[in-house]
């Protein structure tokens, strides 16, 4: 099958694209102390662990807010709660300033894009994109106008007569996005929508998705386990662990000032090094330093052996080890090899954590 780009630039027509409405000030998505617990699947059938625990979170009007965390941390449950596919045990969900806990999914005015695309195999791309409008009894002429405008915006106008089996993964994803776009919802809910794409297509899709949603001034709640997606797509990131919010902030804040050991270890590649707190003065229980912030110098105080070298193209990742330490350091690929090196830690680039794993200072 011919390779096609994930998204294309907006159509060159001078006619305005009018079915995307501006919702300034009316498209916030807010969770207030929301908790959801599923029953225990064991023999006793008792109350299980909370999938989402006391989560308070605000996706502002026109903002791309990414919920980032490992598998099983409650990300998809949180999204399903906002969509109305699950009901919270406690707390309140508000969309556009209105409480929606008791509203059915169809009455919440949100559009969800699933990881699996959820396309009907017996329908063409056009019919899949149009199905939600037809359910709402939108006149057929208006359906065609909206679907074709969305198809032009997403670069799939020539694919509308094909069924999903004849589409690539990237093309299917664009059809799923078109189905969401035609509804002009208050908010878009995206559940790991790029995870089924190959690496090259995913990289292109990240930047173009952000450009598309910014152009639409859309409120987006985006769920992923991929830190690169979160860092490149988002205005803000909420890091989730075992159903609780660990930290909310801009991508720059999350990376530069992680609020906990979990955030520090989860965000950043290669992973942050964690070292004993007594290596530097300051009273920390644990020190964290990113591989790019470790300095190699002949007169540095720490001496370690080089036990592994991994090529990353323009850089190499060296694993260093001594009797009590192991850390990884990024070095230029052209650096001369050595069996033993000396390491310096710049206190200004070291992160300090207490015994409970919370950031100090």
For the domain that residue 303 is a member of, what is the CATH number?
A: 2.40.50.140
pLDDT surpasses 90 at 199: no
Question: What is the rounded distance in angstroms from the CA atom of residue 28 to the CA atom of residue 82?
Answer: 12
Q: Are residues 210 and 288 in the same domain?
A: no
The pLDDT of 214-235, averaged and rounded, is: 91
Q: Which residue has the tokens 């001496």?
A: 303
Q: Are residues 101 and 50 in the same domain?
A: yes
pLDDT surpasses 80 at 45: no
Q: Are residues 231 and 280 in the same domain?
A: no
Does some domain include residue 85?
yes
Question: What is the rounded distance in angstroms from the CA atom of residue 318 to the CA atom of residue 340?
Answer: 11
Strand, coil or helix: 106: helix
pTM of the model: 0.84
Q: Are 153 and 11 in contact (CB under 8 A)?
A: yes
- Give the pLDDT band (50/70/90) at residue 25: very low
Q: What is the pLDDT of residue 36?
A: 96
Q: Are strands 236-241 and 64-68 parallel, antiparallel or unpaired?
A: parallel
Does some domain include residue 184?
yes
Q: What is the pLDDT of residue 208?
A: 76
Which residues, 6 or more positions from 325, have their beta carbon under 8 angstroms from its beta carbon?
275, 276, 302, 304
Does some domain include residue 284?
yes
User: Which of 212, 228, 261 is the last residue before a domain boundary?
Assistant: 261
Provide φ and ψ at 268, rounded to 5°: 120, 135
**Which domain, by its residues, includes 157?**
29-261
Q: Are residues 74 and 181 in the same domain?
A: yes
Give whole-number Cα distances, 89 to 53, 55, 81, in Å: 10, 12, 10
Does some domain include residue 45?
yes
Q: Which of 96-100, 132-136, 241-245, 336-340 has the lowest mean pLDDT?
A: 336-340
Q: Are residues 281 and 153 in the same domain?
A: no
Q: Are residues 102 and 236 in the same domain?
A: yes
Going by C-alpha positions, the residue among 221, 209, 233, 181 that lies closest to residue 21 is: 181
Q: What is the pLDDT of residue 24?
A: 39
Does some domain include residue 327?
yes
- Give the pLDDT band (50/70/90) at residue 43: low
Q: Are residues 310 and 198 in the same domain?
A: no
Which domain CATH number covers 148? 3.40.50.300
Q: Are residues 232 and 331 in the same domain?
A: no
Number of domains in the chain: 2
Q: Are residues 276 and 257 in the same domain?
A: no
Question: What is the rounded distance in angstroms from the CA atom of residue 330 to the CA atom of residue 121?
Answer: 47
User: Which of 208, 229, 261 is the last residue before a domain boundary?
Assistant: 261
The pLDDT of 160-182, averaged and rounded, is: 90
Which residues, 6 or more positions from 297, have their beta carbon under 8 angstroms from its beta carbon?
342, 343, 344
User: Which of 261, 282, 300 is the last residue before a domain boundary?
Assistant: 261
Does some domain include residue 4?
no
Does some domain include residue 133?
yes
Q: Are residues 303 and 256 in the same domain?
A: no
User: What pLDDT, in 10s, does the model give residues 58-67?
Assistant: 999 999 999 9
- Give the pLDDT band (50/70/90) at residue 47: low
Q: Are residues 188 and 49 in the same domain?
A: yes
End-to-end CA separation in angstroms for the chain: 55
Does some domain include residue 6?
no
pLDDT surpasses 50 at 1: no
pLDDT surpasses 50 at 346: yes
Round the average pLDDT of the chain to a whole number and report it. Answer: 87
- Give the pLDDT band (50/70/90) at residue 26: low
Q: Are residues 50 and 167 in the same domain?
A: yes
């Amino acid at each position: 099958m011919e390779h096609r780009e994930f998204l294309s630039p907006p159509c060159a027509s001078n006619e305005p694209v009018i079915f995307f409405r501006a919702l300034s000030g009316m498209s916030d998505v807010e969770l207030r102390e929301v908790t959801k617990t599923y029953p225990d699947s064991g023999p006793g059938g008792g109350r299980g662990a909370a999938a989402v625990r006391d989560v308070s979170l605000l996706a502002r009007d026109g903002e791309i807010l990414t919920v980032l965390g490992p598998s099983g941390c409650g990300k998809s449950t949180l999204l399903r709660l906002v969509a109305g596919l699950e009901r919270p045990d406690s707390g309140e969900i508000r969309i556009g300033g209105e409480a929606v806990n008791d509203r059915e999914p169809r009455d919440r005015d949100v559009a969800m894009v699933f990881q699996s695309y959820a396309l009907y195999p017996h329908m063409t791309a056009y019919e899949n994109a149009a199905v939600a409008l037809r359910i709402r009894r939108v006149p057929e002429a208006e359906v065609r106008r909206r679907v074709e405008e969305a198809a032009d915006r997403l670069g799939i106008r020539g694919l509308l007569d094909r069924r999903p089996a004849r589409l690539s993964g990237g093309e299917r994803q664009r059809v799923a996005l078109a189905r969401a776009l035609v509804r002009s919802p208050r908010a878009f809910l995206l559940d790991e929508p790029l995870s089924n794409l190959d690496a090259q297509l995913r990289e292109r899709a990240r930047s173009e998705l952000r450009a598309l949603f910014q152009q639409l001034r859309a409120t987006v709640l985006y769920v992923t386990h991929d830190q690169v997606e979160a860092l490149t797509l988002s205005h803000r990131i909420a890091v989730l662990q075992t159903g609780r919010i660990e930290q909310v902030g801009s991508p720059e804040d999350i990376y530069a000032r992680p609020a906990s050991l979990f955030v520090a270890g989860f965000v950043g590649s290669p992973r942050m090094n964690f070292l004993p707190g007594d290596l530097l003065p300051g009273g920390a229980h644990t020190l964290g330093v990113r591989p790019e912030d470790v300095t190699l110098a002949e007169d540095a105080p720490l001496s370690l052996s080089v036990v592994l070298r991994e090529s990353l193209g323009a850089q190499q990742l060296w694993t260093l080890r001594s009797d009590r330490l192991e850390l990884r350091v990024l070095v230029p690929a052209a650096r001369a090899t050595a069996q033993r090196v000396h390491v310096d830690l710049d206190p200004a680039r070291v992160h300090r954590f207490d015994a409970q794993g919370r950031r100090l200072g």
